[in-house]
């Protein structure tokens, strides 16, 4: 339990941010899963469209502090190379 008013407020803020960040991470993972499924199906057009939709979501996660910039860049790079290899 928090010992001061400041600590109690920080605990409330942490809970709120945790929920927001959890939702944002889940949304990013959903977009990534759509790209993975398109790659697995072998449909290059669908994979490209899914990747174009996923890129801004990943970078938005970076600006919101949910993931590191290099992590997002690495994921985009690896997915784009896999999509490129489909054709």
List the chain domain ranges: 5-86
Give the global pTM. 0.88
Q: What is the DSSP string of 49-81?
A: HHHHHHHHHHHHHHHTTSS-HHHHHHHHHHHHH
Q: State the average pLDDT over residues 23-30.
A: 97
* Rounded CA separation 50/54 (Å): 6
* Rounded CA separation 11/24 (Å): 20
pLDDT in tens, 6-25: 999 999 999 999 999 999 99
Indicate the class that CATH gives domain 5-86.
mainly alpha
pLDDT for res 1: 81
Question: pLDDT band at 81, cuts 50/70/90?
Answer: very high
The whole-chain average pLDDT of the chain stands at 96
């Amino acid at each position: 339990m928090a010992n001061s008013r400041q600590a109690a407020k920080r605990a409330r803020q942490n809970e709120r941010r945790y929920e927001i960040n959890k939702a944002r991470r889940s949304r990013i993972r959903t977009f990534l899963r759509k790209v993975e499924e398109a790659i697995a199906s072998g449909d290059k057009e669908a994979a490209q469209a899914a990747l174009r939709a996923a890129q801004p979501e990943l970078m938005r996660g970076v600006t919101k502090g949910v993931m590191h910039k290099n992590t997002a860049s690495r994921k985009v790079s690896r997915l784009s190379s896999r999509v490129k290899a489909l054709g």
